[in-house]
Structure 1
Amino acid sequence: MYPFYRYTKSIVKAVVAQKKGDTVDFTDTAEMQFRCSLTDIDNFFEMNNGRVFTLYDLGRTDFAVRSGLGQALLKHRWGLVVAGSTIQYRKRIRAFDLVTIKTRIAAVDERWIYVEQSMWVKGKPCSSALLRTGVTKGGRVIETQKVLDAMGRSNWSLPPTGYVAEWIESDSHRPWPPQN
C-alpha cells in the first residue's frame, strides 16, 4: 500500500520548512530523513526494493515543495510524471535504520528533468537512482523551458553530461514496446 500518511507528513514538513526559509535552489541537494518502518521491509528484514522507489517519491516531493516548483504546479494545474529510471543497490537498509534521502537535479533537456536520488544510512550510500521526470499539463509532458519560465529561471540550464548523457543515449536504443 502507498504510504499516504508518511507522504502527507513529508509534504507538511516541507511546507513548514519552506515557510521558515529552509528552501532549496535548483542547484542544491535537498535532504530529508525518515526511519525504515516495519511496513517497508520484506521477508529478509530489509527495505524492499519496490519500497525504495516509493520512498524516493517523498524526496522528490520535498525538493519540489522547498524549491518552489510545488507552487508552480498548483498555480498552473501541472502534474509530475516519471518516464524512466535506473537504480543501483549497494547496502541493505534494515528496519528502524535512520535513512537520509538526497535529491538533486542532475540535468535538464528540452523535455525532461533528470533527478538523481540516493539513500544513506550512517553516512554510507545504500542506493542511487537516476530518474527521467517531466511536468505534465492535461496528460502531456510540457517543455521544460515553460517550467523554468514559470519559476523565474528562464536562463538556467543544466545540459546532460557524463553518465546522465550516456544513460539517455543508451536508453534511446532500447526497443519500445518491448519485443517478445
Structure 2
Amino acid sequence: MHLLLRTLLLLLRSTRRPPLTVWDAASLNLRVLPTDIDIALHVNNGMYLSLMDLGRFDLMVRSRVWKRMRRRGWGPVVASETITFRRSLQLWQRYSIETRIIGLDAKAIYFEQRMVADGEIYASAYIATRLVTRGGPVSQEEILKEFGEPPVDLVLPEWIAAWRAASALPGARTPAPHAWAGRD
C-alpha cells in the first residue's frame, strides 16, 4: 500500500517521458525516501523488489504496452525472483533502476533489473513474470502479438531454466502441503 501513490504518480509521469520499445533498456531516476528505509537507515531488503516494480511499470508505460495490456484485461504478476545485494542505498541518496527484458520462454517474461548509484551496481535482480487474465495465463503468442517480435539477438541465458526449475512451487491448482523436509 505504501507504494500505491508513488506507482500512480509514476504511471502518469512515464507517459510524458521519452518513448521506448518494450525491448529497450529503461532507466528510472529516483531518490531514497524515508518510507524506503528500515531501522538501519538504509533501503530495506524487501523494499528493493517493491521499488523494482516501478522500473518495470516505467518500461511498460513508455513502450505503450501498458495501455494495450490493460485494454485486454491483462495483469502482470511475479512468478519468481532472485536478488543479490552489493551495497546499501542510504536515505536521500539518488539512484536509478535499470530495467530490461532478457528473454521469454513458454511460461514467462524475464527481466533483469539493477539499482545503480554513482555508476555502481548496488543490487541486481532477475524476475520471472507472467501476464494473466481472470481466465488464466496469457499465451506467449498473444503477448508477442502485442509486444512485437523480440530482437533476434535476445537469447534467454541458459541458467534461467535451471533457476526456475530449482525454485518452482506446484501450480496453483496442485496441492502444496506444508511440511519441512526431513522433520517429523
Is the CA contact (8 Å cut-off) linking 1:104 and 1:116 kept in structure 2? yes
Is the CA contact (8 Å cut-off) linking 1:85 and 1:129 kept in structure 2? yes
Q: Is structure 2 residue 75 aligned with structure 1 residue 91? A: no
1:7 alignment counterpart: 7
User: CA 1:117/1:139 → structure 2, altered by over 3 Å: closer, same or farther?
Assistant: farther
Q: Is structure 2 residue 56 aligned with structure 1 residue 60? A: yes
2:116 alignment counterpart: 120
Equivalent residues, number: 174
Unaligned 5+ segments in structure 1 are: none
Farther off after superposition, 136-145 or 47-56? 136-145
Q: Is structure 2 residue 16 aligned with structure 1 residue 16? A: yes
Name the Cα RMSD after superposition.
2.0
How far apart, in 1, do the equivalents of 2:45 and 2:137 lie? 27
Bigger share in helix: 1
Query: Tell me, what secondary structure is at the counterpart of 1:16?
Result: coil
Unaligned 5+ segments in structure 2 are: none
> Which has the larger Rg?
2
Query: Tell me, what secondary structure is at the counterpart of 2:145?
Result: helix
1:35-114 aligned at under 5 Å gives the runs 35-114=31-110
How far apart, in 2, do the equivalents of 1:40 and 1:139 lie? 35
Task: Note the C-alpha offset of 1:3.
Answer: 1.6
Name the aligned partner's letter for residue 15 of structure 2.
V
**TM-score when normalising by structure 1:** 0.87
Identity percentage of aligned residues: 28
Task: Note the C-alpha offset of 1:103.
Answer: 0.5
